[in-house]
Amino acid sequence: EAGVVQSPRYKIIEKKQPVAFWCNPISGHNTLYWYRQNLGQGPELLIRYENEEAVDDSQLPKDRFSAERLKGVDSTLKIQPAELGDSAVYLCASSFTYDSYEQYFGPGTRLTVT
Amino acid sequence: AQKITQTQPGMFVQEKEAVTLDCTYDTSDPSYGLFWYKQPSSGEMIFLIYQGSYDQQNATEGRYSLNFQKARKSANLVISASQLGDSAMYFCAMRDPVSGGYQKVTFGTGTKLQVIP
């Protein structure tokens, strides 16, 4: 069974440019999470989806970040415009339901904003 | 107050020895869950073990066990018979209810474990 797939693995952009990350969760997993992990820190939740619905986006900086999960399968996280402080690893995870205690993580996208 | 506290930024352990990674948590809800994840240098977070707040016995998964002390609000990870492949970052996490009726997972800052041959 394929794990959580993310692309790209690495991205370098200049500040004020847009960037998008893509995630394909494990087949059959209804819950999808986007996390941001700053250097030396643990992951912080940005947004959680239950199928197509964003049920927790309280930590998402809505002025520049947006996310979508059309058809309740794969998801895209976008930043526009990027700032220097957005440099981090963006992790996608999925679980069967929000009650499932095990989240399966993808390899992450390392974003560097110059 | 921090929800999850990991006070050991880095730890060393001799191969084949046991090691304990510390984690304390803070929540006022009686229903919560505690997790440990491993993050190798490749970056992927790997689930290791889970302990529910109502579980009577400490969770074990192979060489991993969770020393759950509810009164102390601690959930230490014990790795027995350390292997070189155990060298990684280890994150403690807690899931507890937040407003809106759903549960949220909060991660600690991690402990970097290095296994010495």
For B53-81, b/e burial (b = at least 16 CB within 10 A) is beeeeebeeeebbbbbeeeeebbbbbbee
In 3D space, the residue among B1, B90, B98 whose CA is nearest the CA of residue B40 turns out to be B90
pLDDT at B98 over 80: no
pLDDT at B99: 64
When pLDDT is averaged across residues A67-85 and rounded to a whole number, the result is 94
pLDDT at A4 over 80: yes
pLDDT band at B100 (very low <50, low <70, confident <90, very high): low
Percent of chain B surpassing pLDDT 90: 80
Tens-digit pLDDT profile for residues A89-111? 999 999 998 777 789 999 999 99
> Is A108's CB within 8 Å of B50's CB?
no
pLDDT at A58 over 90: no
When pLDDT is averaged across residues B60-69 and rounded to a whole number, the result is 96
pLDDT at A79: 97
Alpha carbons B82 and B115: distance in angstroms, whole number: 7
The mean pLDDT of chain A is 93
Neighbours of A24 (CB within 10 A): 18
pLDDT at B58 over 90: yes
Decide: residue B14, CB within 10 A, 0-12 exposed, 13-18 middle, 19+ buried: exposed
pLDDT at A109: 97
pLDDT at A108: 95
CB pairs under 8 A between A and B: 50
How many residues make up chain A in this entry?
Answer: 114
pLDDT at A46 over 80: yes
Chain B residues with beta carbon closer than 8 angstroms to that of A45: 104-105
pLDDT at A1 over 80: no
pLDDT at B13: 97
pLDDT band at B104 (very low <50, low <70, confident <90, very high): confident
Q: Is the dihedral of CA A92, B25, B6, B49 positive or negative?
A: negative
Q: What residues contact B64, with CB distance under 8 A and at least 6 apart?
A: B36, B48, B49, B77, B78, B79
Q: How many helices (H) and strands (E) does chain B have?
A: 0, 12
When pLDDT is averaged across residues B36-54 and rounded to a whole number, the result is 93
pLDDT at B94: 94
Q: Is A89 on the interface with B (CB under 8 A)?
A: yes
Compute φ and ψ for A77, nearest 5 degrees.
-115, 130
Q: Is B33 on the interface with A (CB under 8 A)?
A: yes
When pLDDT is averaged across residues A20-34 and rounded to a whole number, the result is 95
Alpha carbons B92 and B114: distance in angstroms, whole number: 17
Chain A residues with beta carbon closer than 8 angstroms to that of B43: 89, 107-108, 110
